[in-house]
């Protein structure tokens, strides 16, 4: 029995993915040509337009004060409402059924792509909070962690169909407390950690692990280059062994895989910049980067982005100098900055997190909204497709009932590639139906339990309690 | 009129007023300066209608008057409120503020004592007045908080504190505001694939139903036995037989058994909530439900028992995978509809649950159907009433502590800046370590 089956069985006889999928299918079956009229359109990159936006063929086809509705278009009155691009979360772990390959310090051979669950309810909840694209990362237990992947929140599709086509692959690095935890005696016995110590146990050791790995990657790259050169000349040579761990690092050296580095303190941020400079690769984003404001200059000079929290702090020692002004300082000092979630709950209100930077640091509304739209799109190198409302870009669009930076606003509708994936009215309308379905399923399950071969009798716990060994 | 007499008194006594500094220096609570008038502001008393171009007069830390065109002595310090708003300071109805500094560093946590039954322990004892969480929270307009021991069946006494003061004595509003108890739960594994999903509060991990039920029965028996022994002790103490020896733990239970002190019961799911109500009936307790995430399922029973509820953060994931996505957002509106008195507590002083974001929890409920004025009440007067200090704080009314905030907008909006916080009429330091770091590093040369 695999983990998923086990959990579903234990949870309740009710197959929730089945229930939620129904809603998704109906939401996704809408008309592909949509015209939203009379709305306030926050394009992010080209100011605010009072007027209409046309979604057609999966793309944004027109934005303007007046746009004529093509035949067959679904027309939505957006009077008093706001339209903005879909939110992009540069750091999430939803869908992932495993997070850390924690047994080794360098786990670049593994990829989060292999453990994605397209039925994670977190996807739908993120959609309802306006997220249309998310960077799904490996955990932070390793100095060099596993491969990452960019996904669109196409709820109801399979994992393959949710991949952001053409988005560059990435890899997770991690510095500081997390990767050294497994090296510390206190970590023995923690989930994911081996019972013995695992190198490294200090920030110095973290640097060493990364340098050693890239030494190996450079050697490996040279061996393959030599082989390829000989093979190209027609020489009969035996190919070197393939090393999946080093393959990913060679891609980093070649600029074909983006590095997303989990970090907190300024010293470790500088360390990684130096390591990257020495080995000739770039850090694409520093993640969390709660002390980024202390080394904004160096981060900007390296050309790295920063993807942080609006105001998380105090949950660990290395988060003690976190300040809610971090994002604003980074922006003002020229760092490409985004706000991310790293959490299935925070992911649902990244718009409201962006609003905090207006207070903490005085960012403009556009600068604030850029932190969760165009900036993360640039960090993930998908800004030619998403992150702003521009003609020709993917129709990943949100409709709000009030200004997205107001705490009193909420997302009403979400389109991805011009398809509706979330509709609040529809969600509410389906609730009664889903409740009835659930009741029917519980009744059926409870009837099955009472039948021949069941555990039977009035002493049987109620149907919502788990029955070990039953695996329907 | 009492008010006019007091104004006259201010005029004669004004010579002794200390001048309040705009902000204190290096985190020091401001000395003196607890008398002033705010003029020309939009005043939101919460107890009544908003007042445009209104005034608030504060004398010796108490509110002396709220209204329009109030007569005040000429030499009373005037604070120009033009373009600004005055609200009562907000109250976080359940936190661990002051008891925990860094959640992952064990040495900085004083929430959880050994032993299942600790009714004699008092939160205020371990509140660190120098905790960095206090000025950070105050910065967003929260002027008081209920802070609580947690983690055991009976963790200790919760304390209502002001978020300013030199010492715990100065901060304490009500050191023994209630007894924090956790309702035993049948904690069974849940079908959540999220890697950080926890088991039900108080749960013993991924155990089987049988084991969970056994633990539950054991804890329920222990709990009942503890209350019964406290009741026997109370009778014994009254009789004072020869050789009677006082017991700190059982002594602390007497106000609870007499119904003088409420029991704050953490009861998350429907089953625990119902159990808590039944337990209160059986033991004849005055209770407050905490973090009652499924209170919406039990509104009728809660209302019948006339029990108030301190909800946890609205910005939380639904309890169950098949709950509506907005389940936590709509609960406040459900409780209002049922006529249940409720407030909001941010619970742990951790990450996104931080107390400074209390107003945004209330705002999320507004986005999903709670009337705005009810959201303001939830984080002001409702909390004060639930904690038995509705006559002291929570609104801008004559005679109450002058816990008030001066803002440039709606305090429930994240974009609003709280310009000045006053606690007991004293202007609080609006600085904190985070702000110092900001000012230091924004000025780092490029």
The DSSP element (H or E) to which B157 belongs, if any, is: strand B154-162
CA A409 – CA B414 distance, rounded (Å): 12
Helix (H) or strand (E) holding B379: none
Cα A307 → chain centroid = 12
Q: pLDDT averaged over chain A?
A: 89
- More confident of the two residues B293 and B76: B293
What's the complex ipTM? 0.89
Domains identified in chain A and CATH numbers = 87-385 (3.20.20.140)
Q: Tell me: pLDDT of A454 over 50.
A: no
Contact B38, B56 (CB under 8 A): yes
Neighbours of A439 (CB within 10 A): 11
Q: Do A345 and B417 touch (CB under 8 A)?
A: no
Check CB contact of B108 with chain A, cutoff 8 Å: no
Taking residues A239-266, what's their average pLDDT? 98
Rounded Cα–Cα distance for residues B221 and B223 (Å) = 5
For residue A406, the distance in angstroms to the closest alpha carbon of chain B comes to 6
More confident residue, A92 or B10: A92
B321:A121 CB<8 A:
yes
Instruction: Dump pLDDT digits (tens) for A130-150.
Output: 999 999 999 999 999 999 999
Q: Decide: residue B12, CB within 10 A, 0-12 exposed, 13-18 middle, 19+ buried.
A: exposed
Enumerate the β-bridge partners of residue A151: A134, A163
Architecture of the structural domain at B1-89+395-446 = Roll (2.30)
CA A454 to chain centre: 43
pLDDT computed for residue A182 by the predictor = 84
Q: What is the DSSP code string of A342-396?
A: SSTTGGGGHHHHHHHHHHTT---HHHHHHTTTHHHHHHTT-TTTSSS--TTSB--
Select from B105, B325, B412 the Cβ nearest to the Cβ of A125: B325
Per-residue pLDDT at B354: 85
- B367 vs A312, A359, A410: nearest CB: A410
The answer for B 63-102 residues in CB contact with A (under 8 A) is: 101-102
Taking residues A166-179, report their average pLDDT.
Answer: 97
Mean pLDDT of chain B: 89
Q: Are A338 and A89 in contact (CB under 8 A)?
A: no
Instruction: Name residue B287's beta-bridge partners.
Output: B263
Rg, C-alpha atoms of chain B: 23
Q: What is the pLDDT of residue A451?
A: 62
Q: Which residues contact B352 (CB under 8 A, 6 or more apart)?
A: A312, A343, A345, A346, B313, B315
Helix (H) or strand (E) holding B51: strand B51-59
Buried b vs exposed e over B112-142: b needs ≥16 C-beta within 10 Å?
A: bbeeebbbbbbbbebbbbebbbbbbbbbbbb
- The Cα B335–Cα B309 span in angstroms is 9
pLDDT surpasses 90 at B291: yes
- A196 pLDDT above the threshold of 90: no
- Residue contact A358–B437, C-beta within 8 A: no
pLDDT for B21 beyond 90: no
Dihedral (C-alpha) A176, A182, A187, A190: value to the nearest 10 degrees?
A: 110
Q: Is B414 on the interface with A (CB under 8 A)?
A: yes
Looking at beta carbons, which residues of chain B come within 8 Å of A293? 437-438, 441-442
Instruction: Look at residue B196 in the predicted model and tell me its pLDDT.
Output: 36
* Cα–Cα distance measured from residue A286 to residue A264, given in angstroms and rounded to the nearest whole number: 9
What share of residues in chain A are helix, strand, coil (percent, to 5)?
35, 20, 45
Looking at the predicted structure, is the pLDDT value of residue A21 above 90? no
Q: What's the CA gap between B322 and A124, in Å, rounded?
A: 11
Helices A203-232 and A244-253, packing angle to 10 deg: 90
Confidence of residue B10 (pLDDT cuts 50, 70, 90): very low
Indicate the pLDDT class of residue A190, thresholds 50, 70 and 90: low
User: Which residue bears the tokens 């661990």?
Assistant: B96
**How far is the C-alpha of B1 from the C-alpha of A307, rounded, in Å?**
60
Rounded to a whole number, what is the distance in Å from the CA of B261 to chain A's nearest CA? 33
pLDDT at position A461 is 39
Residue found under tokens 């409740």: A435
The whole-model pTM stands at: 0.89
- Total residue length of chain A: 472
- For residue B343, give the nearest of B362, B315, B330 by alpha carbon: B362
CB contact under 8 A, A325 and B321: no
Domain ranges of chain B: 1-89+395-446, 90-393
Structure tokens at A437: 């379905």
Cβ distance A311 to B354 less than 8 Å, yes or no, reads yes
**Is any Cβ of chain A less than 8 angstroms from the Cβ of B107?**
no
Q: How far apart are CA A236 and CA A257, in angstroms?
A: 31
**Residue B208, pLDDT score:** 80
Partners of A135 in beta bridges: A150
| CA separation for the pair B30, B429 (Å, rounded) | 7
CA distance B405 to B45: 11
Q: Report how far residue B55's alpha carbon sits from residue B72's, in angstroms, rounded to the nearest whole number.
A: 10
pLDDT over 90 percentage in chain A: 83
Give mean pLDDT, residues A109-123.
97
Question: Could you say which DSSP state residue B106 is in?
Answer: G
Instruction: For A406-450, write each residue's pLDDT tens digit.
Output: 999 999 999 999 999 999 999 999 999 999 999 999 999 988 877
B327 and chain A: CB distance < 8 Å anywhere?
no
How deeply is A406 buried, as exposed, middle or buried, from its count of CB atoms within 10 A (0-12, 13-18, 19+)? buried
Q: What residues 343-372 of chain A have any CB closer than 8 A to a CB of chain B?
A: 343-346, 348-349, 352, 355-356, 358-361
Model confidence at B189, in pLDDT bands (50, 70, 90)? low
Q: What does the alpha-carbon distance between residue A70 and residue A35 come to, in Å, rounded to a whole number?
A: 8
Please name the residues in contact with A183: beta carbons below 8 A apart, sequence gap of 6 or more: A197, A198, A199, A200, A201, A202, A205
Per residue in A213-241, pLDDT tens?
999 999 999 999 999 999 999 999 999 99
End-to-end CA gap in chain A:
11
Report pLDDT for B34.
86
Q: What's the pLDDT tens digit per position in A38-89?
A: 999 999 999 999 999 999 999 999 999 999 999 999 999 999 999 999 999 9
Tokens describing residue B236: 């014994």
Three-state secondary-structure class, residue B313: coil
Which pLDDT score is estimated for A325? 98
Q: Is the CATH number of domain B90-393 3.20.20.140?
A: yes
- Residue-level pLDDT at A183: 81
Contacts of A12 in chain B (CB under 8 A): 191
CB atoms within 10 A of CB B443: 7
Query: Which of A177, A298, A359, A426 would you mutate first to test chain B, the one with the most B CBs within 10 A?
Result: A359
> Is B357 an interface residue toward A (CB < 8 Å)?
yes
Q: How far apart are CA A180 and CA A140, in angstroms?
A: 10
Q: Which residue has the tokens 């169909």?
A: A161
Q: Which 202-231 residues of chain A touch chain B by CB within 8 A? A: none
Size of interface A-B (CB pairs under 8 A): 167
Q: Which residue of B has its CA nearest to A322?
A: B434
Least Cα separation, residue B334 to chain A (angstroms): 15
Site of tokens 């086509």: A165
Nearest to A125 by CA among B189, B320, B359: B320
Encode pLDDT of B145-161 as tens digits: 999 999 999 999 999 99
Minimal-distance CA residue of chain B relative to A361:
B438
- B276 vs A375: CA distance, rounded Å: 49
The end-to-end CA distance of chain B, in Å, is 62
Per residue in B368-404, pLDDT tens?
999 999 999 999 999 999 999 999 999 999 999 999 9
Contact status of B196 with chain A (Cβ, < 8 Å): yes
**Of A298, A296, A356, residue with least CA distance to A331:** A296
Residue A213, CA distances (Å) to A149, A218, A275, A283 in order: 22, 9, 11, 16
pLDDT of the residue at B76: 87
Q: Which residues of B touch A465 (CB under 8 A)?
A: 188, 209
State the Cα–Cα distance between residues A393 and B362, nearest whole angstrom.
36
Strands of B287-290's sheet in order across: B90-95, B142-147, B154-162, B172-182, B263-266, B287-290, B309-311, B342-344
User: Per-residue pLDDT for B24 more than 80?
Assistant: no
Tell me whether residues B102 and A316 touch, CB distance under 8 A. yes
Element housing A205 (H / E): helix A203-232
Q: Which of residues 265-324 of A touch B (CB under 8 A)?
A: 293-294, 296-297, 311-317, 319-324
Q: Where are the alpha helices (DSSP H) in B298-389?
A: 299-305, 327-337, 358-367, 372-378, 381-386
- The answer, for B157 touching chain A at a CB cutoff of 8 Å, is no
In angstroms and rounded to an integer, the radius of gyration of the C-alpha atoms of chain A is 24
Structure token pair of residue A4:
């998923």
Q: What are phi and psi of B142, to 5 degrees?
A: -95, 120
Name the residue among A4, A344, A466 with its Cβ closest to that of B189: A466
Whether B330 shows a pLDDT value over 50: the answer reads yes
CB contact under 8 A, A7 and B189: yes
What six digits make up the tokens of B22?
Answer: 């705009």
pLDDT of residue A354 exceeding 60 = yes
Q: Which residues have a Cβ under 8 Å from the Cβ of B156 and sit 6 or more positions away? A: B113, B118, B119, B120, B121, B122, B123, B148, B149, B179, B180
Residue B172 DSSP symbol: E
Residue B353 confidence (pLDDT): 61
The three-state secondary structure class of B376 is helix
Place of tokens 């040369």: B445
The rounded percent of chain B whose pLDDT value lies above 70 is 87
Q: What's residue B193's pLDDT?
A: 36
CB B384 within 8 A of CB B394: yes
């Amino acid at each position: 029995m695999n983990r998923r089956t086990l959990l579903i069985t234990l949870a309740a006889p009710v197959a929730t993915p089945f229930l939620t999928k129904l809603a998704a299918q109906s939401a996704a079956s809408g008309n592909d040509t949509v015209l939203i009229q009379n709305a306030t359109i926050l394009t992010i990159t080209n100011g605010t337009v009072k007027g209409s936006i046309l979604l057609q063929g999966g793309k944004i086809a027109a934005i303007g004060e007046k746009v004529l509705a093509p035949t067959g278009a679904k027309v939505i009155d957006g009077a008093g409402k706001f339209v903005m691009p879909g939110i992009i979360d540069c750091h999430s772990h939803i869908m992932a059924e495993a997070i850390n390959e924690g047994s080794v310090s360098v786990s670049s051979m593994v990829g989060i792509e292999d453990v994605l669950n397209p039925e994670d309810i977190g996807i739908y909840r993120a959609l309802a909070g306006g997220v249309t694209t998310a960077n799904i990362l490996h955990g932070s237990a390793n100095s060099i962690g596993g491969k990452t992947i960019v996904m669109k929140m196409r709820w109801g599709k399979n994992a393959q169909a949710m991949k952001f086509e053409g988005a560059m692959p990435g890899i997770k690095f991690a510095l500081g407390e997390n990767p050294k935890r497994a090296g510390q005696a206190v970590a023995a016995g923690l989930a994911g950690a081996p019972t013995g110590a695992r190198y490294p146990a200090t920030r110095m050791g973290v640097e060493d692990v990364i340098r050693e790995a890239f030494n190996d990657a450079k050697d490996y790259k040279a061996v393959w280059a030599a082989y390829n050169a000989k093979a190209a000349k027609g020489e009969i040579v035996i190919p070197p062994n393939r090393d999946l761990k080093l393959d990913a690092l060679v891609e980093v050296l070649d600029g074909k895989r983006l590095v997303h580095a989990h970090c907190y303190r300024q010293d470790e941020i500088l360390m990684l910049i130096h390591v990257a400079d020495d080995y000739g690769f770039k850090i694409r984003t520093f993640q969390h980067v709660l002390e980024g404001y202390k080394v904004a200059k160096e981060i900007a000079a390296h050309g790295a982005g920063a993807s942080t929290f609006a105001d998380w702090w105090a949950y660990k020692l290395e988060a003690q100098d976190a300040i809610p002004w971090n994002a604003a300082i980074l922006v003002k000092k020229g760092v490409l900055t985004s706000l991310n979630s790293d959490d299935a709950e925070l992911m649902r209100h990244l718009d409201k997190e962006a609003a905090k930077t207006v207070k903490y640091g005085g960012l403009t509304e556009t600068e604030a909204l850029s932190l969760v739209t165009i900036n993360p799109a640039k960090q993930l190198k998908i800004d030619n497709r998403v992150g702003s409302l521009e003609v020709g870009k993917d129709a990943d669009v949100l409709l709000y009932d009030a200004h997205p930076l107001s705490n009193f606003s909420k997302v009403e509708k979400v389109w991805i590639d011009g398809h509706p994936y979330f509709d609040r009215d529809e969600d509410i309308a389906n609730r009664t139906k889903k409740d009835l379905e659930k009741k029917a399923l519980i009744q059926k399950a409870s009837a099955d339990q009472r039948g021949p071969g069941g555990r039977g009798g009035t002493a049987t716990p109620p149907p919502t309690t788990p029955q070990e060994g039953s695996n329907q | 009129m009492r008010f006019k007499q007091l104004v006259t008194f201010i005029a004669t006594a004004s010579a002794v007023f200390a001048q309040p500094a705009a902000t204190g220096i290096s985190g020091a609570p401001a000395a003196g300066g607890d008398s002033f008038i705010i003029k020309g502001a939009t005043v939101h008393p919460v107890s009544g209608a908003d007042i445009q171009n209104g005034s608030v007069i504060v004398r010796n830390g108490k509110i002396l008057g709220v209204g329009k065109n109030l007569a005040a002595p000429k030499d009373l310090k005037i604070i120009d409120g033009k373009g600004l708003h005055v609200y009562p300071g907000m109250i976080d109805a359940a936190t661990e503020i002051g008891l925990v500094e860094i959640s992952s560093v064990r040495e900085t946590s004083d929430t959880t004592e050994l032993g299942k039954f600790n009714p004699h322990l008092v939160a205020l004892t371990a509140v660190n007045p120098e905790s960095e969480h206090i000025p950070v929270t105050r910065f967003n307009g929260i002027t008081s908080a209920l802070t609580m021991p947690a983690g055991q069946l009976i963790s200790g006494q919760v304390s209502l504190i002001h978020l300013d003061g030199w010492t715990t004595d100065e901060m304490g509003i009500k050191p023994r505001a209630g007894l924090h108890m956790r309702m035993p739960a049948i904690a069974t594994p849940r079908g959540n694939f999220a890697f950080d999903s926890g088991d039900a509060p108080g749960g013993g991990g991924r155990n089987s139903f049988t084991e969970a039920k056994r633990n539950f029965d054991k804890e329920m028996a222990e709990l009942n036995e503890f209350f019964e022994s406290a009741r026997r002790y109370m009778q014994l103490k009254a009789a004072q037989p020869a050789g009677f020896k006082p017991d700190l733990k059982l002594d602390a239970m007497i106000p609870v058994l007499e119904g003088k002190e409420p029991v704050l019961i953490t009861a998350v799911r429907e089953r625990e909530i119902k159990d808590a109500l039944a337990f209160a009936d059986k033991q004849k307790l005055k209770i407050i439900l905490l973090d009652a995430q499924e209170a919406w399922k039990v509104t009728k029973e809660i209302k019948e028992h006339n029990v108030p509820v301190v909800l946890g953060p609205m910005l939380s994931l639904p309890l169950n995978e098949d709950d509506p996505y907005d389940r936590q957002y709509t609960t406040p509106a459900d409780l209002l509809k049922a006529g249940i008195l409720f407030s909001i507590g941010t619970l742990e002083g951790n990450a996104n649950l931080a107390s400074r974001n209390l107003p945004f929890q209330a705002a999320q409920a507004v986005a999903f159907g709670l009337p705005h004025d009810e959201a303001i009440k939830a984080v002001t007067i409702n909390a004060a009433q639930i904690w038995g200090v509705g006559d002291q704080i929570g609104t801008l009314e004559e005679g109450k502590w002058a816990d008030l905030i001066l803002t440039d907008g709606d305090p429930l909006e994240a974009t609003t800046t709280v310009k000045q916080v006053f606690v007991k009429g004293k202007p609080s330091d609006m600085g904190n370590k985070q702000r110092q770091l900001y000012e230091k590093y924004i000025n780092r040369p490029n």
